[in-house]
Chains A and B, each alone.
Chain A
């Protein structure tokens, strides 16, 4: 297939995603979606931590930074999963376009990728806003100590970790799309399970060390673990951190996720053609 067709498809899908997202009549709702939701999550976790530290009489600025960064960057998972899990059902039943997209040379995959990239862009905007407001509230207004040197961020490493991490999140998104092609209703619970697993075991707000050994085994198998470690190191520069090994694990687990995600999607596409699911009528 022509590369130009792929590029046009991806571009249109991003644009469409943006049009759908911003179509809400009320800009206020839009702001809530982009800023207040992720920020609220951060504030809740942040305050629980501050209260806990107050009760215990100890405050660990390293841990606060750990939590602050993990929680903020988790926005990518939430946004991508959200935009990809309802996509199939919406396009199939509500807009009735799924089969026509499926029949174009641009193909369903590239279209889905574009819609997911729209999620990535949204998440990036959310992330920047959340970091900004989070800092304003915790550091400036509340005077919380965070051992973050904002001028010393290793941007190349940050960008590289983000870049590799996106493959993993998009792959999980494709897995969700595949499963939703095969089912007659939106699998909201599945989306919750997947992002919940990543949240609990991926070292987002808890140090993996507090988990039981089977939990730590899960932690070690999840790409998000290495993704967040890479991000944190790029910002915090903890001593004794082995960047190369971490990158290697990030790449390996991401390759695993990509194989899983695209594998499930391929199976779903085949099953869809066998059983006529691309344009099935369903309860929406």
Chain B
């Protein structure tokens, strides 16, 4: 209901993902509008990260299709999807460790956003600045702590100029102050009309940004809608208590 009301920017239909005999995604349908902010919650191992990987093209689904901006992107690589504006961050940060923070972000600006020289520099510096990393721009990424690596994930994805940004647990382990900084950053992205899909365990951070919440469990979407209603859904409560729906 939420997604179909506005023009859909992303439409995933009938997504299955199996690793050998293990079924990780089981018939996931997910549609969202161009400038929505959607939160995804769910217990560990629910398949949230896997869904993000299938949406971003990191690996192909076992079945189903992904459409972005009205075109079928199921057969497109992660590189191509990024260049179309569908960009993800990684739950376990994947920095370019031998490169400086600036260089990490510059790669995204020049290849993801396709910018040249000064424009690429500006985009990269802007993203670093937005994520509060300008002061450590010259640090090699391998010297950064986990917090800064997560920030770098966000800054790097931003420099690719996404229209839809897929965030995977960028807020874990933050202090209250850091968390509200992060929420501020994400709100700034919303002002820039960037669509957001945000996986996060810390629901109260999520709820400051997300207008719609999805709960996944055992490879399925078990609830989807207004955040507080979703959190109050008996199925969701059961999933979090560990039994799982059955």
Does A associate with B in a complex?
Answer: no
